[in-house]
A and B are shown apart, each in its own frame.
Chain A
Amino acid sequence: MLALVRPDSWNLPLFLHVLGAMALVGAIAATAIAAGRSQESPLLRRVAFMTLVTVVLPSWVLMRVAGEWINSREDIRGTPGWLDVGYIVGDAGLVVLLVTTIIGWWSTRRPERSWPARTVTALASLYLVALLVAMFAMTGKPGA
């Protein structure tokens, strides 16, 4: 119930953090869908790559920067498990996203090869699941 009583100064960073996370979830889902259906048209490989560059990565930055902003406002004792999950999914996620973006670019350059698009689909789907786990941990704060 403590979450119900939140200082006003936390609201803007929380709004931006949640907005970034929601946009990231939608954009990574769009990437997975486009790459997963790209055997129907090479156009979808370009859509997946452009979504990664223009929506996924900026959303990640918004989510991560606003998350750090609100963390600097809150006085959280120690490092609870739910916060660890958020940091791991956030920070390790950047590596996954950068690798996915590079492979996505490669898939647009080599339309005759199917493995790059399949890899983009797998990595984007994996990261989508990780984001949903982080959403569960950071909202429900199990063990807090």
Chain B
Amino acid sequence: MDAYDWLLVLHVTGAFLLIGGAVVAGVFNVAALRRERPSEIALLLGLTRWAVVAISAGLLVTLGFGLWLVHHVGYGWGDAWIVASLALWAASGFLGSRGGRLQRETRVLAERLAAQGDAPSPELRARLRDPVAMALSWSSGLAALAILALMIWKPGA
């Protein structure tokens, strides 16, 4: 394996962390949507912390080794697919962090309600189904998928 192979392996590892982590978060969020008891919702949303670690690491690793690959291979820094990928990377990170913050607030509410009798709450139900939080998180995931498509098709390269 030469330097290019190693850089590609590390870059792809970052992409697996990023999108794999998004799938983990999606699984536990969808499971939480189907529950009513605050303690169960808090437990499921708490498990997404594993996903946040993977997504954060994936974002950093894909960017670092991606930039290194562009330099190593000699792609143009102004190539449309590279510029678009960087813009989508920033958008994915921003949208994901905003959506994650709203979900963290939902988890904190669920933990508080669980400690106060664990009765189903209309407020918690509404927070879980907040269209803004859902749109932010799903948009972040779609941006990551769009980056994957750009990496494979490399339009204009």
Asked whether, in the complex, the Cβ of B40 is within 8 Å of the Cβ of A43, the reply is yes
For A26, what are the chain B residues with a Cβ–Cβ distance below 8 Å? 19-24, 26-27
User: Given the complex of chains A and B, what is the CA–CA distance between A25 and B19 in angstroms?
Assistant: 9
**With A15-B152, A43-B40 known to touch, is A136 a contact of B21 (CB < 8 Å)?**
no
CB distance from B111 to the nearest CB of A (A): 14
Chain B residues near A19 (CB-CB < 8 A): 19, 145, 148
- A141 touching B148 in the complex, CB below 8 Å, given contacts A22-B23, A51-B27: no
B153 close to A11 (CB less than 8 A): yes
Interface of A: prevailing SS: helix
Count of chain B residues with a beta carbon within 8 Å of a chain A beta carbon: 34
Interface 1/0 per residue, A32-66 and B, CB below 8 Å: 01100100110110010011000100000000000
Q: Which residues of A contact B9 (CB under 8 A)?
A: 136, 139-140
Q: Are A22 and B27 in contact (CB under 8 A)?
A: no
In the complex, what residues of A have CB within 8 A of residue B8's CB?
3, 139-140
Instruction: Name the CB-closest residue of B to A28.
Output: B20
Q: How far is the CB of B32 from chain A (nearest CB, A)?
A: 10
Give residues of chain A (5-25) contacting chain B, Cβ–Cβ below 8 Å. 8, 11, 14-15, 18-19, 21-23, 25
Which of B15, B20, B21, B26 is packed against the most chain A CB atoms within 10 Å?
Answer: B20
Contact indicator B153/A135 (Cβ below 8 Å): no
Indicate if the CB atoms of A43 and B43 lie closer than 8 Å: yes
Q: Which of A8, A33, A44, A135 contacts B16 (CB 8 A)?
A: A135
**Chain A residues touching B, range:** 35 or more
| A4 close to chain B: CB less than 8 A | yes
Q: Could you give, for residues 117-157 of chain B, a 1 whenever the CB lies within 8 Å of some chain A CB and a 0 otherwise?
A: 00000000000000000000000000001001100110000
SS of B interface (majority): helix
Q: Complex formed: what's the CA distance from A18 to B13 in Å?
A: 12
Q: Kindly state whether residue B28 has any CB partner on chain A within 8 Å.
A: yes
**Which residues on B sit within 8 Å (CB–CB) of A22?**
15-16, 19-20, 23, 148
Q: Are B5 and A141 in contact (CB under 8 A)?
A: yes
Q: Which residues of B contact A139 (CB under 8 A)?
A: 5, 8-9, 12
Contact for A15 among B24, B44, B73, B149, CB less than 8 A: B149
Smallest CB–CB gap between A11 and chain B, Å?
A: 5
Which residues of A in the span 83-127 have a Cβ within 8 Å of any Cβ on B? none
Q: Is the CB of B35 within 8 A of A43?
A: yes
A55 and B27: CB pair below 8 A?
yes
Query: Chain B contacts of A1 at CB under 8 A?
Result: 4, 73
